[in-house]
Amino acid sequence: MAFIGLVAPHAARMAAGSRAHRMLPVAALFGAALLVAADTLGRVLIAPAEIPSGLLAALIGTPYFVWRLRRG
């Protein structure tokens, strides 16, 4: 789940600004939301089987991370 640790702070900084007292709780919420979304999709997409949540978290977060890297 290290990928969430890379994506969530960048998304939080974009949403809440760079002040730490606002960014840290927002980063925690973004990370939790990303993990819950990945886990839910992993359980629902292929009903009898499961897709690992780490794989889906990477698939969900990679487009944002690449966009963020190219932007600045």
pLDDT in tens, 38-66: 999 999 998 889 999 889 888 888 888 88
Q: For residue 3, name the pLDDT band (cuts at 50, 70, 90).
A: confident
What contacts 13, CB < 8 A, 6 or more positions away?
A: 23, 27
Structure confidence at residue 15 (pLDDT): 87
Is the pTM higher than 0.95? The answer reads no
Q: Give how many domains the chain has, as a whole number.
A: 1
CB neighbourhood size of 50 (10 A)? 13
CA nearest 14: which of 31, 26, 6, 4? 26
Structure confidence at residue 14 (pLDDT): 86
CA nearest 52: which of 39, 33, 37? 39
Whole domain around residue 9: which residue ranges?
A: 3-70
Structure confidence at residue 43 (pLDDT): 93
